[in-house]
Structure 1
Amino acid sequence: MNIGRTSTAVAAVAGAALLLTACGSSSDAADGGGPTVVASFYPLAFAAERVGGENVDVQNLTQPGAESHDLELTGQQVGQVADADLVVYLHGFQPSVDAAVEQNAQDEALDVGTLVDFADHGDGGHEDESHAEHEGETHEDESHAEHEGETHEGESHEGHDHENLEGDPHIWLDPTIMVTITESVADQLAETDPDNAQTYRSNADALTEQLRTLDQDFTTGLADCKQDMIVVAHEAFGYLADRYGLRQVGIGGLDPEAEPSPERLAEVHDVVRAEGVTTIFYERLVSPDVAETLADDLGVEAAVLDPIEGRTDDTADQDYLELMRANLEALRTANQCA
């Protein structure tokens, strides 16, 4: 992450705020008179859309094709934050959103980071874990704090972490954490719009059931595989790896902008050879060049594993559940699962 991004975002939002002195939070912002929810990036927008249904106008600040880490708000988007009845965001992940919330929407904001204990997945996979440790677990009420402070093979990628976060921000890649987010969004909407509280809770129950089914499908689908290591472009998949007994090795760090050093590339090269890894994963929203070059050098496959931070034009018609199931199939193929 660009170390100057936070101060730049604060300055930009401060300037935009001058345009908003006449604006306040409106309970009638949606065209139909229902609540307006602003979500900072796609997985949070998905949860809000599914919970809110037709009663809620959901506005996603990160547009399809945009990299969510790089989001810089326009003046119009700052106005959306100021006018929202509820802002769903992850503090520390997108500094410009943090600044807009702090200045305009502190009382209307849900920081999903307060719902979990962040884990530290900053430098590699969980090599000593097995599938047996994860089978049958439920994580909705469990702290991820036991993972903090772990060290793994590779390097720390110092300087590339999300500097405003205590750990890995990619919490939405564990479906059980998405259950927690869904339930909290329903609670917030019920408080904002009590006339439709039962609808929000019913919608949340329906989505929760789908998320738990997804979780079970991952557990079953990855239970009998020849390989449990995944080599990824950036280390976005730590929560998914923790949940399903995988070992993550990242070419880069937690930030997709991180450029791997020659030493790191050599380490990953050695790991792929030693472990018999069949596939190096890349992402849709960042250049696949490094991953594809490494895969070519090693004679292995390159394939997409989507961190679902945002959608592209090609995936705009797919939702979180469909994208996660595509990830499951990619993992099953790469890890040669029965």
Structure 2
Amino acid sequence: MNWEFNDFIKVKDVGPRDGLQMEKAWIPTEEKINIINALSKTGVTGIQVTSLVHPKAVPQLADAEEVMRNIDRQSGVLYSVLVPNERGAQRAVPMKADEWELMHSVTESHSLANANKKVDESLKEHEKVVKLAHEHNVKVQGGMATALGCPFEGKVSFERVLYVAEAYYSMGIRSISIADTIGVADPKLVYTTLKRLIDQFPDVEFSLHLHNTRGMAIANVLAGIDAGVRAFDASIGGLGGCPYAPGATGNVSTEDLVHMLDLMNIPNGIDLKRLLELSKHVEKVVGHPLESAIFKAGPAGQLQAAPTVQEKISK
């Protein structure tokens, strides 16, 4: 990797959707709005606010309309919603989100488990969503779940990833998110997959959505940067998980990602101090410890008071 790298890295926080949807206890709508408003002031370039999946499937996000209606939108922040199908798109239209994120699994088995549709059936549904988005001048990002590993099929061939990428491209989509949904990817796989995709689709912005289930997310971020990725999803406090991966943690923590970028002098525009202050509040809201290493241990530059000679003797 070029250690003199100084391109700007865009960070989208997906905690309000991907993170909070896994919380079993109801998070009050007002608290969701407060978290999103606070995130908007940290310097993140985007926030995944909520999802338009059926409320029975994800009860935690049943208040999607109210949340979108009441957040304070900041200039320079892209506010997105997850749109799983045409019905979800119809709900999304009046929300006036900046971006609709498509939910699609690369593998057949995960697609059936997650959306109750085969891959091609899901892609056909997305064509309708994209058409509606274009009619309302909404940006679309194509999401590719299980692109770097599937809980049912294991390793995923590049040809399978390419198949979905080409389908999205044919729909006119020029923003694609590659997801390590269950946290099984390694830096070599991330580098080779993203390098090939970027070379094949030079006019597409590829982003990485990395889960930290096996502690590899930060290493995979570096591999992604080396391959040419300049946009990443992250989650405040490392919130989240996957219903099809027992013990899975959430996305790479936003704090951990920003901390690493700051140490390496890689521009990202995010205020780490504000993030950590927000993390304290988020931990109280969810009622359990957060996954973020930096939230637990503090930044690397945080020094402790050195003991005096007398203190050493007394010990």
TM-score by length of 1: 0.27
Q: Which is richer in strand?
A: 2
TM-score by length of 2: 0.28
